[in-house]
Amino acid sequence: MNQERIPTGVAGLDRMVRGGLLPSSVVLVRGAAGTGKTSLAFQFLIEGARRAECGLFITFEEFPGALYRDAESLGLDLRGMEEQGLIQIIFTSPEVLLKSLENPQSIIYRRLMQADVRRAVLDSASHFTRLTDDRLELRRIYTTLVNSLRREGITTLLLSEERRTDSLRAERGALSFLADGIILMRYVEVESEIRRAIVVLKLRGSDHDREIRDYEIRQGGLRVGDVFQGRHGILSGISHRS
Ligand X SMILES: Nc1ncnc2c1ncn2[C@@H]1O[C@H](COP(=O)(O)OP(=O)(O)OP(=O)(O)O)[C@@H](O)[C@H]1O
Stretch that binds Mg ion, among 23-31, 36-44, 94-102, 105-113 (CB under 5 A): 36-44
Q: Decide: is 38 part of the binding site for Mg ion (CB under 5 A).
A: yes
63, with CB counted inside 10 A (0-12, 13-18, 19+), is exposed
Closest to 198 measured CA to CA, from 73, 61, 30: 30
How far, in Å, CA of 90 to CA of 242, rounded? 46
Stretch that binds ligand X, among 30-38, 76-84, 135-143, 186-194 (CB under 6 A): 30-38
Q: Decide: is 73 part of the binding site for ligand X (CB under 6 A).
A: yes
The entry of Mg ion, ligand X, none near residue 7 (CB within 5 to 8 angstroms by kind) is: none
Stretch that binds ligand X, among 27-35, 76-84, 105-113, 187-195 (CB under 6 A): 27-35
Any residues with CB less than 8 A from the CB of 139 and at least 6 apart, and which? Answer: 174
How far, in Å, CA of 48 to CA of 6, rounded? 8
The entry of ligand X, Mg ion, none near residue 35 (CB within 5 to 8 angstroms by kind) is: ligand X
Smallest separation (angstroms) from ligand X to the CB of 144: 24
Number of residues that bind ligand X (CB under 6 A): 13
23 versus 80: smaller Cβ distance to ligand X: 80
Neighbours of 21 (CB within 10 A): 26
